[in-house]
Amino acid sequence: MANLGFVGLGVMGSRMAKRLLDAGHSVTVYNRTKSKAQWLLDAGMKWADTPRAVAGSSDVVFSMIANNTALRAVTEGNDGIVAGLSAGKIYVEMSTVSPAAIRELARRVEAEAADMLDAPVSGSSITLEEGKLSFMVGGKRETFEKVLPYLQAIGPKATYVGGHGLAASMKIATNLSLAVQMLAFSEGLLLAEKSGIARETAVEVLLNSVMASPMVKYRGPFVLKMPDEAIFDVNMMQKDLLLALEMGRQLDVPLPTTAITNQMLTTTRAMGMADKDFAVMFEALARMAGVK
């Protein structure tokens, strides 16, 4: 049993923390809204009043945060994670944030004689619950080897990709493809539907065709019935596409389909659907096509 910490208990973070607890580890948690952690506390987790307290009581502390701003909020200052680190401790940051933010954070962590990994995930709450989540990990390889058993308690696959920030780069490269695929799926579906094929039939055909990636297979049915709780909402996906577009500008990589998909997400937000799963791009495109 290890003493682990977890900061950020949203849709993904809470389920990750629960898998660590179920694996037999002691888990101390912090979340901005304590009530959202109550079911985890009832299951046997410990509560800390600050991110610093989580880091101070843990050998390895994980965080799963929404964006760069939220990451700074839980890492900086007297109550932040970094202030609670000391020699021998490891900090594993699993959010999708900019590579530059990860590298700067890693420098601050190493100044405390601790080690850090960036370990964003590929998958969703659905793949997490199915035990199919995968990690891409950046940092020192020897640190990666130390935390690998904990990562595998959450998901079976963890791939070391290189130094600090490279896992963040890989995650951004992965996520832009999810949004582009969903838009392409929506375009094909609407073309079939408006030609006279029932939407349910077209969805069935597409989900059994060669274009059906794992993401399309579980998110495609959302065009028939959106989930009550977004797995990954429009704002979160657009945040990732904007990170991708900035990387493309810096690295001179043209990203034409990413740019178009980003505009479609803006359209979806303008239609008042920002809090829906990003599969709701289908609905925005359908309205534009005159389809109910």
**Active-site residue identified among 171, 217, 225, 276:** 171
φ, ψ for residue 33, nearest 5 deg: -110, 110
* Torsion sign over Cα 8, 14, 19, 23: positive
Residues in a beta bridge with 121? 135
- Residue 210: φ, ψ to 5°: -70, -15
Please give the single-letter amino acid code of residue 210: V
- Please say if 171 is a catalytic residue: yes
Residues listed for the chain: 292
CA angle 30, 36, 42 (to 5 degrees): 85
Q: Burial of 163 by CB count in 10 Å (0-12 exposed, 13-18 middle, 19+ buried)? A: middle
Query: Which amino acid, 171?
Result: K
Radius of gyration in angstroms for the set of CA atoms belonging to the chain, rounded to a whole number: 20
Q: Report yes or no: 64 and 16 within 8 Å, Cβ to Cβ.
A: yes
Spatial distance between the Cα atoms of 47 and 50, rounded to a whole number of angstroms = 9
d(CA 45, CA 122): 25
Q: Return the active site residues.
A: 171
